[in-house]
Structure 1
Amino acid sequence: MRILITGASGLLGRSVFKQLSSNPVFSVTGTAFSRAGENLIRLDLSDCEAVKTCLQQVNPDIVIHCAAERWPDRCADSPDTAWQLNVRSTEFLAKYCNENDTQLVYISTDYVFDGSTPPYKADDNPNPVNFYGRSKLAGEEAVLNNGNHWVLRLPWLFGPVAYLEESGITALLDTLREQKPVTLDHWAIRFPTSVEEVAEVLEQCLLRIRSGINFEGIYQWSGDTACTRYELAHIIAKACNLNAEHLSAESEPNFTVPRPYNCQLDKSKLTDMGISGSEPLEQQLLRNLKPFIAD
């Protein structure tokens, strides 16, 4: 099975590329833009002709579309740029994949929901509260309206990072180590999710497709631990043996860009198929933070 991964230099894309490349039943090609290299093809997803050429050369059975503008504040600051990547480029990619009998897997977000009535099933009505969520919802619609494609919604991600600030979750290690008084959000409920686990889930999905099982519509995956940012900092502190007494809790929403309260995703559509994760949150966190902790 030939797999093409967009955004293969990003937080999620790197783990998906690594996981699938380790399985000999897959022939995996990755693309990137600003961080191309290391066996990744440089591809500007806004260049339709370049996208056509890449797909013609690779001729994939499946495209996993990890490339996205995923930071809500950056989406709000540069809406045109975010819409181009999250929606327009996605729509063209979906149409062209459909014309060439290639299935597209679109990575989306829990932020398509407003967070008022969790947990959310895949067929619940979305109602995003910020521009990022609206752009990802529009991307979902572009994908599902342009072929036999499917969507995988994910929540707050972390994993192996090149630098701690690459994920808002791993960035909490510096917050803990600096020992300066700081107030962290203790209002929004989040479900930290490992990109390595997501990569394993995608591999399990692709193996089922390879065996003849049809995937279509919307699927969801999430970690199982509910926590606020303040609570997560305490989880990291305990896992890494760090002091958290300098942290204070902000119990009211205080965001520049609105955030939903609790977008817990119901992942039963996948777990009912026997798809599963492998590690507890604390173990995942410690493994990914260990390279940044001095012995």
Structure 2
Amino acid sequence: MKILITGASGLLGRSVFKQLSNNPTFSVIGTAFSRAGENLIRLDLSDSSAVKASLNDIRPEVVIHCAAERWPDRCADNPDTAWQLNVSSTELLSKHCSEINAQLVYISTDYVFDGTAPPYAPDDTPNPVNFYGRSKLAGEEAVLKNGNHWVLRLPWLFGPVSYLEESGITALLETLREQKPVTLDHWAIRFPTSVEEVAEVLEQCLLKTQRGIQFEGIYQWSGDTACTRFELAHIIAKVCELSAEHISADSKPDFSVPRPYNCQLDKSRLTNLGIKGTEPLPQQLARNLKSFIQN
């Protein structure tokens, strides 16, 4: 199976590219834009002609669309840029994929929900509370109306990073190491999810596709640990043997851009197919933070 991954230089895309490339069943090609390098093709997803030419040249059977503007604050500050990547480029990509009979897997978010009535099933009615969620929902709608494609919704992501601030989760290690008094959100319930686990989930899905199982519509995946940012900092502190005494809790929502309260995703549509994760959260965190602890 030939697979094309967009955003293969990003937090999620790197792990997906690595996981699938290590499986001899797959032939994997990655694209990137600003961080294209030796192993990745440079591709501007806003350039319809370039996207069409690349797809016609590569002829992938599956395209995993990891490229996105995933920071809610940046989306709010630069809505036109975010809409271009999360919606307009996604719609073009889905249409071009349909033209060559490639199936697009669109990576979406739990932020399509307002967080008032968890857990959310894939067919529950979305109601995003911020621009990021609205842009990703519009991306979902564009994908699903333009061919035999499917959506994978994910929550708060972390994993192997080149610098701690690449994920809001790993960035908490720096907050702990600085030992300066700080207040962290203790209101919004989040579900930290490993990009390495997501890559394994996608691999399992693609292997099932090869065995004739059809994927269509919306699927969801999530880590199993519910925690606030304040609680997660304490989990990381325990894993890394650091003090968290300088951290205090803010139990009221205090965000520059609105966040939903609890967008827990029901992942039973995938688990009922036998799709599963492999590690508990502390083990995932320890593996990804170990090198930063030693430095």
Report TM bin, short chain: over 0.9
Q: Which amino acid aligns with 1:179?
A: Q
Q: Does 1:293 align with 2:293?
A: yes
User: What is the SS of the residue equivalent to 2:219?
Assistant: strand
Q: C-alpha root-mean-square deviation of aligned residues, in Å?
A: 0.5
Matched residues in 2 for 1:41 and 1:96: separation? 18
Q: Which amino acid aligns with 1:260?
A: P
What's the offset of the Cα at 1:166? 0.1
What's the offset of the Cα at 1:53? 1.1
Identify the residue that residue 241 of structure 1 maps to in structure 2: 241
Q: Which amino acid aligns with 2:161?
A: V
What's the offset of the Cα at 1:38? 2.9
Identify the residue that residue 275 of structure 1 maps to in structure 2: 275
Identify the residue that residue 63 of structure 2 maps to in structure 1: 63
Matched residues in 2 for 1:294 and 1:132: separation? 35
Provide structure 1 residue ranges, at least 5 long, that are not aligned to the other structure. none
Matched residues in 1 for 2:211 and 2:294: separation? 45
Identify the residue that residue 98 of structure 1 maps to in structure 2: 98
- The 5 Å alignment of 1:249-264 reads 249-264=249-264
Identify the residue that residue 27 of structure 2 maps to in structure 1: 27
- Length-normalised TM-score, structure 1: 1.00
Matched residues in 1 for 2:208 and 2:80: separation? 37
User: What is the SS of the residue equivalent to 1:219?
Assistant: strand
Identify the residue that residue 189 of structure 1 maps to in structure 2: 189
Post-superposition, which runs of at least 4 consecutive aligned residues in structure 1 deviate over 4 A? none
- Length-normalised TM-score, structure 2: 1.00
Matched residues in 2 for 1:100 and 1:44: separation? 19
Q: Which amino acid aligns with 1:2?
A: K
Q: Which amino acid aligns with 2:179?
A: Q
Q: Does 1:129 align with 2:129?
A: yes
Matched residues in 2 for 1:113 and 1:80: separation? 22
Matched residues in 2 for 1:250 and 1:174: separation? 19
What's the offset of the Cα at 1:294? 2.0
Identify the residue that residue 109 of structure 1 maps to in structure 2: 109
- The 5 Å alignment of 1:167-206 reads 167-206=167-206
- Percent sequence identity is 81
User: What is the SS of the residue equivalent to 1:293?
Assistant: helix
Matched residues in 1 for 2:45 and 2:99: separation? 17
Matched residues in 1 for 2:291 and 2:171: separation? 13
Matched residues in 2 for 1:109 and 1:73: separation? 15
What's the offset of the Cα at 1:56? 1.0
Q: Does 1:49 align with 2:35?
A: no
User: What is the SS of the residue equivalent to 1:107?
Assistant: strand
What's the offset of the Cα at 1:284? 0.1
Identify the residue that residue 165 of structure 1 maps to in structure 2: 165
User: What is the SS of the residue equivalent to 2:19?
Assistant: helix
User: What is the SS of the residue equivalent to 1:255?
Assistant: coil
